Structure 1
């Protein structure tokens, strides 16, 4: 079945289908997430539906992240590394990327999880090392919920705003993603500079 057919099928189930689509995107990235979210936003007829769509996709993304967390918890460090070495290339998860994600958790767990949810590619697999390291579930879920809302909401709203404009959602979504990542980097850099100044 074509990816577009799968999306159409899921959307036919309303908000439940939208949530399932957000879950599926965490495991099988059929499209870049910002493109998918903007396309969903283009189909939204009104503001109340937009709000419910944001809620459905955010919860779906959290459930998808929780799925990766559970896989990591179940596998443990050794089995996970072996599985990634053998099968990671089929889901675009190379051992080098896995190592970077794992090493990132040497810093603040909450902020790493939160910021990771608004970085393409990273946002899909970050929950795996979180589960492997058995990070506190409450902190993981809170950070994931906020991060998914910060990523999903703007792209859905942007898609909604562009209805009938004739703009290319792929191009607009790409630049919007760049802006979000740049804003995130600026915020994190500011926090680090202030912490460094206080310690100094």
Structure 2
């Protein structure tokens, strides 16, 4: 195979993974089908196996990509803020109304958390790795990073952020959704700045 053919194959593979990463956040793992993903990128279902050994392999790459995008977005927000405001900025962005309304491009843990226990080991492994990265990112932004209890506080912060986002998306009452976000911000902001 020539290098240009390999490059085309790699580019196609990336398009499939990108489409799958959006689809799992939008429709869940169960609602993400190979045929739909391949159609979305302008390919036939038959071409799928030139890129992946199985649907689970595609889902694992999609989970990894979605998680990587979420961690990178959070890291960028933290890096763009003064160090003493980095964590508060990250929490505010994570719990923003925009993030609530854009599950397809947002945190895959909040979008897929309840489905993860039923996924193949490689899908769970990819998601777990990215969750650990998010916890580490939160811990590094804390003013008490490296001190006793800092890691545990990062665990609670991430769990609270994800739970709040999940609930804010789940309810059909916009006022309740906003109240969930605002209450969490009030509770976390003094502890994270």
- So what's the TM-score if we normalise by structure 2? 0.34
RCO higher in 1 or 2 (8 Å CA, sep ≥ 6)? 1
State the structure with more CA Rg.
2
